[in-house]
Structure 1
Amino acid sequence: MREALASWHMGRVFYAYRTHPWNGRVVSQEAMATWLDLNQAQLSRIESGKSPQDLSKLMRWAHSLKIPADLLWFKLPEARQVTATAVAARPPAEPPAPKPEASQAGGLLPVVINGRAVLVPVDAETIAASGLSSFTGHLADESARATEQDPMSPLNRRDLFRGGIAAIALPGLGLDELQHVAHALDDAHRYLDGPVVDYFRRVLEKAKCDDGALGPKKTMPVMLALLDAIESQAREVKPHVRRELLAVGADGAEFAGWLYRDIQQPQAAVFWYDRAMEWAQEADNAAMQGYVLLKKSQMAYDERDALRMLTLAQAAGHDRWHLPARVRAEVTQQEALGRAMLGDPLDVVRGQLADAETLLTNAPEDTPDALGVYFTGHTRLVRDAITYTEAGKPSLAADLFSDVLNTGALSHRDTGFFNARRAAALALSGEPDEAAKVGRASAAVAHEVKSVRTVRVLGEVLPTLDHWRSRPAVREFREALTPQQ
């Protein structure tokens, strides 16, 4: 395997993997092709032909085979390693895994399933009601013994995963439901059904809620473990369940793309956005496909690529996607931002912002898990403020930011981010002391939730304040930000 990996030829890696003695017998091309979402003829051509060069495919194949990142000749999203630890019951380096004893909020309890020690999600009430607390110490020892194998080995990771549960504690989780999920992960074709898909959906929604308060690095391990569960089990379920499962997977992959954007890893973000698009297509989820185009447009804004941002927003707004009104409002506002960056007249930009407001005002009440449910009146106003900053109206933008942020309606992480944007608008408006004060508050939140994206925006404020660098408030802001850069 090491020789094959050293050759930088994924086809040779496939062949070495299929014929490795650890398997007991040679894995057929048909079987491996199924794992990789290929057909037998395609796999045969890859093994015998020129070395594949498409990075997105190489990343996807390496991920599917759980190849350790340090053995690859290209960079794999580093948090993949966190996934392994989450599934193999080994605490990741950051953040630390929940302790096995029960807590008020619940956690992951090490238990033995089919002879293997794995982590299962339980809450404090379940532990107390079931008398499990007396066993946690013993089971923690079992979990430690189970991880004496190398958890980064792709074979050990798959073996541990199939007997375990990659999920988090959910309120009201009962032992019957937990047992059903465990059976589904052990025999997906027989047991993975609608209730298990719904369980995965609930895990995803909880992760989204946690993100606003905890930040990306504490949410990421759960998400990657969940996506591993979905991707692995989707190969074995019935066709109609696969479509349901991939619909949840597309939603989760889009969210993973957002998390990687927040920690400023664009290559990994693109990988997950592409995976979200692929799964949405297979699940026949048109709205999610349009939504991913919107997210790619927003990522283009992160990269200051105004033209690509505008054309992606326009593509997202096509009628073929059948987007809900709330998402259409966000797409319309995104197009206004692109036009502002490209220098369109202010009246044109204002007109599109007004259209977005009308769409949002007339949008029906959505369920908590609806697409784009986070796009509220407050979110629209802070996005309007960003647009006015790009249109050369920073004073107007600063007032809008202040109005919304003073309501306290945004999440902890978003408050930090939009305060960074507010600091930028204040600096452009010639308000150095206020910009520095707001920037310091934003930096504190960015440090707490590990939002690299917020730190980047704050870093862009410093050159604007350079003319006032000797002022005490500006010096304090620079000192608060420098350790985090």
Structure 2
Amino acid sequence: MSQAQLRPGNTRFIDARMRRGWHAQADVAEAYAHHARMLGESATITVRQVRRWESPRPGWPNRAARRVLTSMFGLPLDELGFAPPRTTPGHDEELEPVRERERGEDPLRRRLLLGGVLGSIAPLLDPAALDHLAAARASARRYADRHLVTHLRAALDEAARTDGHKGPRQALPAALGILAAIDEIARDAPSTIRRDLLTIGARAAEFTAWLHRDAGAPPQSALFFHDRAIEWATLTGDGPMHAYVLLRKAQATERDDAARMRDLAHAAAQGPWMLPPRARAEALQQEARALALTGCTPELVARTLDQAHDALADAPPAEPATCTGPLCAGYNRDRLMAQSAICHREAGQPERAVALLQQHLATGAFAPRDRAFFTAHLSGALADARQPDEAAATALTSLQLAATPNFGQALGELRRTVTTLRPYARRAAVRELRQALTALPG
């Protein structure tokens, strides 16, 4: 055996992809293609390229590949076993920093961009925040201070607002950048600052899991970030956040695994922690939906929903919802009633679901994403109630809200509606809906 054969490969890359559930090199190539589409990159890779990255000499990926890899893994490239090439006169890529300086590029912005994925949050930070972040990356123990914590919290809230209006693919690079910054800076930060960073990190990891799910990423991606959120919540002793991640995992569970959904939601609501009343109300509602999916009686589903309403009645006044504020601070009666309608639909009571959704969509104030999602469920309930033309027209209304920002959960429900409407496929409204969904990119 030659000396080259005895050398280990790029174990950092291999370990990172195994932790994300990509057990085969083909899984990496598939995930790469998905993230490239999300980021607007047209390039794909083959298993041969993955094999090259896992070799003892993986080389330095090109610009597009660097962007996609950092989106996939949420890690700086050096933690994936890559090392940038040494400066070589005449090499275009190595002259890029010089050209940026000649163009008058903000040096703080440039330092972040050269750091890889951290540059994705640069547009969300003001110059003072960029200064704190650049300094913290250079010497975390010295510069990781509460000003940086404040800036990262604001950046995460801004990323959440971006997601709510423009969709997950627009917000995902920033969320990954925030996670990468926290992961890097927290390692050497003073203990008091480290705790604050990991507290934000748990919120950012849960949010990133949601973005992956809504963008249609493989389930392993969301699972990885949910696990990171639970790890950081546990390290900081944040029991309510730990429970909240269980709730979000329940919401991410597919309908055909209702027992797991029920167990997760029940643990979130009844576990050894004290969820805030609004979050507990949402957890109980999710448990009610899971009970409906497991075939429990409508009476048991209704009793569980009554518990959710009781929990909401004990809550302090609602606050504007933010990613870093009180858990489920904006959860209100309109949202609970809309989600209750979904539970009734799953329990085989579509007419009741239609009445509730029509009432609360008409009177409630919902963010664009939520309105698209609940309108999609209304279309499905109408289809279940054998009102195909109204179901198709309602679905097209939801599609107008969901298509451009690519709200994945709403689009998924609309595809479920089309499946329910198959017996009416020849009707003009149903045919129009099917063609509109088929025409969507990706």
Which consecutive unaligned segments of at least 5 residues does structure 1 have? 18-50, 63-67, 89-114, 120-135, 148-156
**Structure with more of its chain in helix, by fraction:** 2
Q: CA deviation at 1:245?
A: 0.5
C-alpha separation in 2, matches of 1:223 and 1:231: 12
SS of 1:279's partner is helix
Give the CA deviation at 1:436.
0.4
Q: 2:235 — aligned with what?
A: 282
Separation in 1, partners of 2:339, 2:371: 13
Counterparts of 1:421 and 1:163, CA distance in 2? 37
1:270–1:481: structure 2 CA closer, same or farther, 3 Å change rule? same
Q: Equivalent residue for 2:204? A: 252
**2:367 aligns with one of 411, 414, 418:** 411
Give the aligned partner of residue 355 of structure 1. 307
- Aligned CA distance change for structure 1 residues 425 and 366 (closer, same or farther; 3 Å): closer
In structure 2, relative to structure 1, the CA distance for the partners of 1:288 and 1:455 (3 Å cut) is same
Letter of the structure 1 residue corresponding to residue 242 of structure 2: Q
Map 1:277-426 → 2, pairs under 5 A: 277-300=230-253, 302-365=254-317, 368=320, 369-407=325-363, 409-426=365-382
Task: For 1:287, give the aligned amino acid.
Answer: P
| Corresponding residue SS for 1:449 | coil
Give per-residue Cα distances to partners, 1:441-473, cap 9 Å, x unaligned.
Answer: 222222111123322221111232122222211
C-alpha distance after superposition, 1:64-91 (max 9, x if no partner): xxxx965546999x96544899999xxx
The farther-off stretch of 303-312 and 447-456 is 447-456
Within a 5 Å distance, the mapping from 1:171-210 to structure 2 comes to 173=126, 175-210=127-162
**Matched residue type, 2:149:** V
Deviation (angstroms), 1:304:
2.5
1:138 alignment partner AA: R
On the 8 A contact 1:167/1:226 being kept in 2, the answer is no
* Match in the other structure for 2:80: none
Residue 88 of structure 2 corresponds to none
State the alpha-carbon separation in 1 of the partners of residues 317 and 418 from structure 2: 41
Structure 2 residue 224 is matched with structure 1 residue 268: no
Instruction: Give the counterpart letter for 2:399 in structure 1.
Output: A
Aligned residues: 384
Give the deviation of 1:435 after TM superposition. Answer: 0.3
Please report how far the alpha carbon of residue 246 of structure 1 lies from its aligned counterpart in structure 2 after TM superposition.
0.8
Q: Which residue of 2 aligns with 1:139?
A: 104
Partner amino acid for 2:104? L
Q: In the alignment, is the contact (CA less than 8 A) between 2:74 and 2:179 conserved in 1?
A: no
Offset of residue 379 of structure 1:
1.4
Unpaired stretches in structure 2, ≥5 consecutive residues: 26-30, 33-44, 55-64, 78-95
What's the offset of the Cα at 1:359?
A: 0.8
Cα RMSD for the two superposed structures:
4.0
Does 2:398 align with 1:442?
Answer: yes
1 CA distance for matches of 2:419 and 2:20? Answer: 40
Corresponding residue number in structure 2 for 1:229:
181
Kindly tell me: are residues 207 and 87 of structure 1, through their superposed partners in 2, closer, same or farther at Cα, counting changes over 3 Å?
farther
1:421-455 deviation digits (Å, cap 9, x = unpaired): 11100001111111000111222222111123322
Deviation at 1:407, TM superposition (A): 2.9
The residue number in structure 2 matching 1:26 is none
Equivalents in 2 of 1:82, 1:54: separation in Å? 13
Distance 1:205 1:220 in 2: 13
- Tell me the TM-score normalised to structure 1 length: 0.70
Which residue is equivalent to 1:13?
10
Alignment check: 8 A CA contact 1:165 1:185 kept: no
Contact 1:164 1:182 in 2 (8 A): no
Cα deviations across residues 112-169 of structure 1 (Å, max 9, x unaligned)? Answer: xxx96899xxxxxxxxxxxxxxxx993249899x79xxxxxxxxx9963599683443
Report deviation, 1:357.
0.9
Equivalent pair of 1:87/1:118 in contact (CA under 8 Å): no
> Distance in 2 between the 1:191 and 1:117 partners?
27
Check whether the contact 2:124–2:158 (CA below 8 A) recurs between aligned residues: no
Which among 160, 163, 179 is matched to residue 115 of structure 2?
Answer: 160
Residues in 2 aligned to 1:417 and 1:380: alpha-carbon distance in whole angstroms: 14
Query: 1:338 and 1:456 mapped to 2: Cα distance?
Result: 18
Aligned counterpart, 2:84: none
Identity over aligned pairs, percent:
33
Measure how far apart 1:310 and its partner are. Answer: 0.6
CA distance in 2: counterparts of 1:373 and 1:72, whole angstroms: 44
Give the match for residue 169 of structure 1.
124
TM-score normalized with structure 2 length: 0.76
Paired residue secondary structure (1:321): coil
CA distance in 1, matches of 2:73, 2:20: 20
Q: Decide whether the 8 Å contact of 1:382 with 1:400 is kept in 2.
A: yes
* In structure 1, C-alpha distance between the alignment counterparts of 2:299 and 2:222, rounded to whole Å: 34
CA deviation vs aligned residue, 1:200-254 (integer Å, no higher than 9, x gap): 1111112112211111011111111111111111112112211210110010000
Residue pair 2:250, 2:264 contacting (<8 A) in 1 also = yes
Q: 1:267-299: per-residue Cα shift (whole Å, max 9, x none)?
A: 211111111111111122111111111111111
